[in-house]
Chain A
Amino acid sequence: MRRYLALMAVFILVQGVILGVLIWLDTPSDYYLAASVDKSRRLDEAPSPRVVFVGGSSLAFGLNSGVVAEELDGAYHPVNMGLHAGMGLEFELNMARCGIKQGDIVVLSPEYEQLWSDILSDTTVVRILAYHPGAISQVPSWKVGEVLFRAFKDGPSMLARDLAAMQYYGVRNTLVDWVRKALGRGSVSKVGEDVGYHRSTFNEYGDQTAAWEVAGSYRPTAGERTARSLSDERMQNALDAIRLFIDSCHALGVQVVYAYPPVLDTEYEVDKPAIEETAQLLEFALGIAFLNRPSEEVYPASSFYDTAHHLAGMAVQERSQRLGASLAQLLVVSTSPGR
């Protein structure tokens, strides 16, 4: 019995060493949500003045900050904080509030879903905290308990899954690349063939560049969809959170503007009443400038990458150009360099 237990203990120890090596190799830090660390660092370190974009993954995928910077003649340094709508509106606002400085401009561009319901996902937040523990202070206070419970209960399993997926797709993509190269074909695209996306495909501004060079391939699900409607209570909570954010920005000398997110044309047709009502409420309640109208952000399925929120290819560039031009019109941009 002792011999058996001793051998089992040694075997388990060996597996533990292997696991430690895998974690030490830092493979999981290429995980998409680990980019939260980079975005916060960018927000802290980017030279002032900055234009800070706040929203979910539609902003991460749907913005080319370099194009925006060009439209602003380099007067503002872009920071794209967009990551994942599952963070919830309040968490996103708190993350931005921590790093903004006097002279910055904030462009709010949350997904409509973040205004219509509380979509903060414990799973998403736990994953972010696994790679960015310091962000715990920005989690809305009423969610901290739930998030910590979820972290304790499911955290190790989730991290194991991420680690396993990275190993699997890392090996798999390498093998497929070898085969494809041997057959004279190009390398396989990393994005869309693995779980989530990669931290390494965010650029220096925080834009997710994975879909810039590809054509949109989103296929909407067949069948009728029922129109979505506003929850008065949630809408009011969202408006309160945004107003609080705007007030704290103004106190710091930071200007806030709003940009509506991209939406799929077929979904716009169905949800138009809710979208227009949302727009009316926002424009009435917030008292800030709006860079676009909801109807200007309607795109066909061929403009989206893999979901009805992630723009791809030329649609990203065109949208960024329009937003940059709108922003430039709103601002008085000095032509002197380095401002």
Chain B
Amino acid sequence: MSLTSFGFFLFFAVVFGVYWATRRNTVRKWLLLAASYVLYASIDWRFCALLLGLSLIGLAGINRLSKEAMRWHRSLVLGIGLALSLVALVVLKYFDFFAAGVAGMLGRFGLAADDVTLGLVLPIGLSFYVFRVMSSLIDSYRGDLPAVCSPLDYLVYVAFFPQLLSGPIDRAGNLIPQIHTSRSFDYALATEGTRQVLWGLFKKLALADGIATHVDSLLSPDAGHAGPVLVVGVVLYSIQIYCDFSGYTDISIGVTKLLGIRPMRNFAYPYFSQNVAEFWRRWHISMSSWFRDYVYIPLGGSRVGRPRLFVNILITFVLSGLWHGAGLNFLAWGALLGLGVAFTSLRKKPVLGALDTPGGERLTIRAFAKMIVTFAFISLSWVFFRAESVSEAARTIGRIFTPALQAAQWREALQSIADLDVLVVLLIIFIFFEWFHRRRESTLDLRISYLPVRWLIYTCVLWLTIVMFKVNESGMFIYFQF
């Protein structure tokens, strides 16, 4: 059950109604827990056992940590908890990748090795809830979590259904106190959440899904397009992945707010960043901050010399690349971004504080040029992310940088933009809308006091979403097979 499906909205309507109909917080917690497991079971009931098992490991770990005083005991408990969590992730997500890698390496040395793979199904959301368990264990070890954690609160935190499938990877220190505390309906938070759901649906269904079919044809390895067309494809893919992921996250965050809980922010207009390091403070914030807090800082962070800083950054980004997928292309993607962040950080120490206004308070030519260069670098890195292999990505980038000397190649690129049709207009409006609202946490947070004007804008966004969603649905020309 996807967050964009009609079934989910019916499901959530029921949960929302029952949730706010009851005043007892314990009942609400049990409702959230049941809803989370029902949602997960609707995908595959076997995954529920894994989710419950990992939740219990985390719960046992933090409760043990709250009782242990001796440091080596606490380290042992932490180590066991993290190891058990990682075992699930490594076996289910990475075993086949490493086994194939080992077999390949042995083969290079002339040693025959059976291609042993487990062929296991990767449970949806595994990477997200394993990291929630791990972060809660580490926070508990550091003393950042309350000494006593209610089992029900913790189970709800790990399985929390709006965030279960695709994040954000919210922290126990943020969610558990809110789950624990009884809340009354917050009108401002609910309207904020509703707007965020609407904007998320627009980005996902109208823009991302609309762009997707164009990207597939432009970046198809078999199509053999020239550089200019590939540039169009890469730029569109950058927009697609942003709208897809941030749109889905907006829906998740909006639904969470409708339940009276304020989750952590996950995207802060990343494509308006002026360097790669800033991009990584604005893109998938819950994940990038997770790697910062639990990998980069324990390695020494920026409190080390430049050579060690460089290594710390590369390790962090290679691991984050692997988190996204078990493949050399993800490793290469992470390494490339790590190089970009390292280059930025070696010139200027990383800033870990609150985010400034993206693009600056006033747009200057210098700031604009930095944004374009940063966007270009990030877009090229997405080539590795999207490709099936490193060699495919390298070929694509090679063709991008091959000079296009024929006019026909440039005409084809212009035609590929024209083929987007109404989407071009929507994308331009979308970019300007995000730019002019970049100071706000949510793009649809309109500071317009006149209600009919606000509703007119919401209505336009809603109808554009519905129309584009229906138009993008497959089968439009399948209808005429005869």
Known: A1-B20, A8-B194, A195-B476. A14 touches B471 (CB 8 A): no
- Which A-chain residue is minimally distant from B20 (CB atoms)? A1
Report yes or no: A160 in contact with B187, Cβ–Cβ below 8 A: no
Interface string of A78-97 (1 = CB under 8 A from B): 00000011100000000000
Q: Which of B177-196 contact A (CB under 8 A)?
A: 185, 187, 190-191, 194
- Are B470 and A160 within 8 A (Cβ)? yes
Tell me the nearest residue of chain A to B478, going by C-beta.
A123
The proximity string for A residues 282-321 relative to B, scoring 1 for CB distances below 8 Å and 0 otherwise, is: 0000000000000000000000001101000000000000
Task: Mark interface residues in A105-128 (1 if CB within 8 Å of B CB, else 0).
Answer: 000000101000001000110000
Interface bin, chain A: 35 or more
Q: What is the interface of chain A mostly: helix, strand, loop, or mixed?
A: helix
**Which residues from chain A contact B463 at a C-beta distance below 8 Å?**
15, 18
5 contacting pairs across A/B (C-beta < 8 A): A11-B458, A15-B462, A113-B482, A196-B479, A307-B482
Chain A: minimal CB distance from B23 (Å): 11
Q: Does B455 touch A at the CB level, under 8 Å?
A: yes
Q: Are the C-beta atoms of A4 and B185 separated by less than 8 Å?
A: yes
A57 touches B480 (CB 8 A): yes
Residues of chain B within 8 A of A216, CB atoms compared: none
* A172 at the binding interface (Cβ < 8 Å): yes
**Contact pattern, A 17-30, Cβ under 8 Å of B = 1, otherwise 0:** 01000000000000
Residue A58 lies at the interface, judged by CB distance under 8 Å to chain B: yes
Measured between alpha carbons, how far is A77 from B83 in the docked complex, in Å? 84
A152 part of interface (Cβ distance < 8 Å): no
Contact of B422 among A4, A161, A172 (CB under 8 A): A172
The 8 closest A-B pairs by CB, nearest first: A164-B470, A85-B482, A1-B185, A164-B467, A161-B470, A195-B476, A168-B471, A4-B190
Contacts of B412 in A (CB 8 A): none
Q: Does A217 contact B (CB under 8 A)?
A: no
CB atoms of A165 and B482 under 8 A apart: no
Contact A172–B421 (Cβ < 8 Å): yes
Taking the complex as formed, is A66 at the interface, i.e. its CB lies under 8 A from any CB of chain B? Answer: no
A14 with B480, Cβ < 8 A, contacts A164-B467, A164-B471, A168-B468 known: no
- Interface residue? A262 (CB, 8 A): no
Q: Is the CB of A84 within 8 A of B459?
A: no
A residues in contact with B459, CB < 8 Å = 14-15, 18
A307 and B421 contacting across the interface, CB-CB below 8 Å: no
Type the 1/0 row for B441-477, where 1 means its CB is closer than 8 Å to any CB of A. Answer: 0000000000000010011001100111111010011
Which residues of the partner chain A approach B480 to less than 8 Å between Cβ atoms? Answer: 57, 196-197, 306-307
**Is there an interface contact between A309 and B482, defined as CB atoms closer than 8 Å?**
yes
Q: How far is the CA of A124 from the CA of B476 in the complex (A)?
A: 12
Check B185–A165 contact: CB distance below 8 A. no
Residues of B contacting A165 in the complex (Cβ-Cβ under 8 angstroms) = 470-471, 476
Q: How far apart are the CA atoms of A306 and B479 in the complex, in Å?
A: 13
Which residue from A3, A4, A167, A175 sits with its C-beta under 8 Å from B467?
A167
